[in-house]
């Protein structure tokens, strides 16, 4: 058996078999471009397979060496890849700048970091493994733009015909001259390898005199410049002083370009992957550096605690109590995973979990409450009473005690909100109940939340909370 076949065999044991078979088919039969920076959400839609199972399958496949996992920092404006990392540990703290958009961005892990999968060169060689050999527009599609840009062959070709004045491949150390006719529109000379851009503000009366513009490409990230010219002929001189080829392209910054870059589709974000149980289990402490503090603009936290656990041990004895607590943990962890959440840690009889969206946390909490009631009936007891609190807000992703964890006031509030419960109530905060999807769940379940203000330990001001009776 070949090494790859052995990897597929292990994958079928660790991942959903249908997902494993779909991955195997993709690697064996897929076209080159389909195996570069795979958008797993797109793959899920095309195959009709469950998103969470697909994500889990690709994570297992990556860990086995079938794929290389990359963390790509994206420009929120144009969707271009500003930087690519093999690990989240190398994500920079400083701002990322997009020359094409002439804007800087602080890299948060919400929607700005794409997680993509490329087949390992040890498994199958594809053209993108040597990006400097790709044709110019394949380079744009496969390397510069993210998997979230919705490009197909037909629309891309028609749009490039509309928005591209000229483009060329310029080998290392060579010079070239382009003779162009500037239209009465804003023009961008963009080079995707060095991420260099020159804006040309074309205005005024047309001229027949040949205008001149010289651009030098080197390894210095110069700020995007703007020059004003008139409609008419332009002699564009290009000098490649880098050690690799460059791909200068002249775009018309018109509706066609904006339309092409504005067509987006969902992609797997770093925020979602960090809140994935398979990723936490498989990659463990291999995702963040101990000194990193990654900003997340919004994440939902759920805290649980088992009411009266100390009295429970005294009442039924250590062995019986341990069995009850273990059954309670088993039920909670299964529910969290099935509702697209991940367990951050357990503390005694308490659980800290994260969810991408507040409605997933609420759905999980309602199922938890029902599961505890069912366990009590099953065991002829009323000892399993779980207190639950949910809050949404910004936080920092950090490494604590060799575990990916979260830090910030949002975490503190979520933990304190849980402590408000005295029985099996669920307490949620304003940001959670403001979610339209949460409102839909409450309406469907005929639940009328009880609004109140609460003073939380360690929090200066009272906050509005909602009790789910």
pLDDT of residue 57: 97
| 344 and 443 housed in the same domain | yes
Domain annotation covers residue 267: no
CA dihedral sign, ordered 113, 74, 291, 293: negative
pTM over cut 0.85: yes
Domain annotation covers residue 149: no
Radius of gyration of the chain (CA): 27
Domain stop point among 247, 262, 277: 262
Domain annotation covers residue 125: yes
The structure tokens listed for 378 are 């099953």
pLDDT of residue 318: 65
Domain annotation covers residue 268: no
pLDDT of residue 279: 92
| 235 and 304 housed in the same domain | no
Asked if residue 345 lies in contact with residue 277, where contact means CB atoms within 8 angstroms, the answer is no
Structure letter (DSSP) for residue 189: E
| 459 and 339 housed in the same domain | yes
| 69 and 170 housed in the same domain | no
Helix/strand/coil (H, E, C) string of 296-308? EEEEEEEEEEECC
Domain annotation covers residue 276: no
| 195 and 106 housed in the same domain | no
Domain stop point among 219, 245, 262: 262
What is the domain extent for residue 253? 159-262
pLDDT in tens, the chain (469 residues): 478 889 999 999 999 999 999 999 999 999 999 999 999 999 999 999 999 999 999 999 999 999 999 999 998 888 899 988 888 888 766 678 888 888 887 767 777 899 999 999 999 999 999 999 999 999 999 999 888 888 777 767 777 788 899 999 999 999 999 999 999 999 999 999 999 999 999 999 999 999 999 999 998 777 788 999 999 999 999 999 999 999 999 999 888 788 777 888 899 999 999 899 999 888 875 666 666 777 888 999 999 988 756 666 667 666 666 777 788 889 999 999 999 999 999 988 889 999 999 999 999 999 999 998 888 888 777 777 889 999 999 998 888 777 888 999 999 999 999 988 877 789 999 999 999 999 999 999 999 999 988 878 777 778 889 999 8
pLDDT of residue 1: 47
Domain annotation covers residue 27: yes
Domain annotation covers residue 143: no
| 233 and 357 housed in the same domain | no
| 221 and 339 housed in the same domain | no
| 125 and 171 housed in the same domain | no
CA distance 43 to 51: 9
Spatial CA neighbour of 152 closest among 2, 260, 268, 29: 260
Domain stop point among 245, 262, 279: 262
Domain annotation covers residue 145: no
Give how many domains the chain has, as a whole number. 3
| 225 and 374 housed in the same domain | no
| 129 and 170 housed in the same domain | no
* Cα→Cα distances 318→169, 296, 314, 322, 378, Å: 73, 41, 7, 6, 20
Q: For residue 456, how many C-alpha atoms fall within 13 Å in the half-sphere facing its CB?
A: 26
CATH code for the domain of 348? 3.30.70.1230
| 307 and 239 housed in the same domain | no
pLDDT of residue 285: 58
Give Cα 128 distance to the centre of its chain.
22
| 331 and 410 housed in the same domain | yes
pLDDT of residue 321: 67
The structure tokens listed for 286 are 């291999």
Asked if residue 229 lies in contact with residue 214, where contact means CB atoms within 8 angstroms, the answer is no
Instruction: Point out which residues pair with 176 in neighbouring strands.
Output: 238
């Amino acid at each position: 058996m070949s090494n790859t076949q052995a990897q597929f065999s292990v994958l079928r044991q660790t991942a959903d078999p249908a997902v494993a078979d779909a991955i195997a088919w993709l690697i064996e039969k897929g076209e080159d471009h389909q195996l570069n920076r795979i958008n797993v959400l797109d793959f899920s839609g095309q195959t009709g397979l469950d998103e969470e199972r697909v994500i889990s399958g690709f994570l297992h496949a990556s860990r086995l060496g079938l794929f290389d996992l990359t963390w790509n920092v994206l420009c929120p404006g144009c969707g271009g890849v500003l930087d690519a990392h093999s690990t989240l540990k190398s994500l920079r703290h400083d701002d990322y700048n997009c020359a094409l958009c002439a804007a800087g961005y602080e890299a948060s892990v919400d929607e700005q970091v794409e997680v993509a999968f490329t087949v390992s060169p040890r498994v199958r060689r594809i053209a993108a493994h040597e990006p400097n050999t790709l044709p110019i527009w394949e380079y744009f599609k496969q390397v510069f733009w993210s998997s979230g840009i919705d490009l197909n062959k037909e629309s891309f070709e028609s749009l490039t015909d509309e928005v591209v004045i000229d483009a060329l491949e310029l080998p290392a150390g060579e010079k070239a001259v382009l003779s162009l006719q500037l239209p009465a529109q804003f023009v961008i000379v963009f080079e995707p390898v060095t991420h260099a851009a020159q804006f040309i503000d074309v205005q005024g009366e047309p001229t027949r005199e040949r205008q001149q513009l010289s651009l030098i490409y080197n390894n210095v990230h110069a700020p995007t410049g703007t020059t004003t010219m008139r409609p008419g002929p332009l002699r564009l001189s290009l000098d490649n002083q880098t050690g690799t080829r460059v791909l200068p392209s002249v775009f018309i910054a018109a509706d066609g370009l904006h339309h092409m870059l504005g067509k987006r589709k969902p992609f797997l974000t770093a925020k979602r992957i960090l809140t994935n149980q398979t990723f936490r289990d498989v990659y463990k402490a291999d995702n963040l550096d101990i000194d990193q503090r990654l900003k997340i603009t919004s994440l939902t936290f759920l805290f649980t605690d088992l009411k009266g656990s100390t009295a429970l041990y005294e009442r039924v004895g250590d062995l019986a109590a341990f069995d009850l607590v273990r059954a309670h943990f088993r039920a909670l962890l299964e529910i969290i995973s099935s509702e697209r959440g991940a367990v951050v840690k357990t503390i005694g009889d308490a659980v800290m979990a994260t969810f991408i969206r507040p409605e997933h946390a609420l759905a999980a909490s309602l199922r938890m409450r029902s599961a505890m009631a069912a366990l009590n009936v099953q065991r002829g007891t009323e000892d399993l009473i779980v207190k639950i609190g949910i809050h949404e807000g910004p936080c920092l992703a950090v490494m604590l005690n060799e575990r990916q964890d979260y830090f910030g006031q949002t975490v503190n509030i979520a933990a304190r909100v849980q402590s408000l419960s005295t029985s099996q109530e669920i307490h949620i905060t304003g940001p959670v109940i403001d979610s339209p999807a949460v409102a839909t769940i409450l309406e469907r379940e005929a639940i009328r939340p009880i609004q109140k203000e609460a003073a939380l330990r360690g929090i200066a001001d009272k906050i509005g909370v909602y009790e789910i009776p």
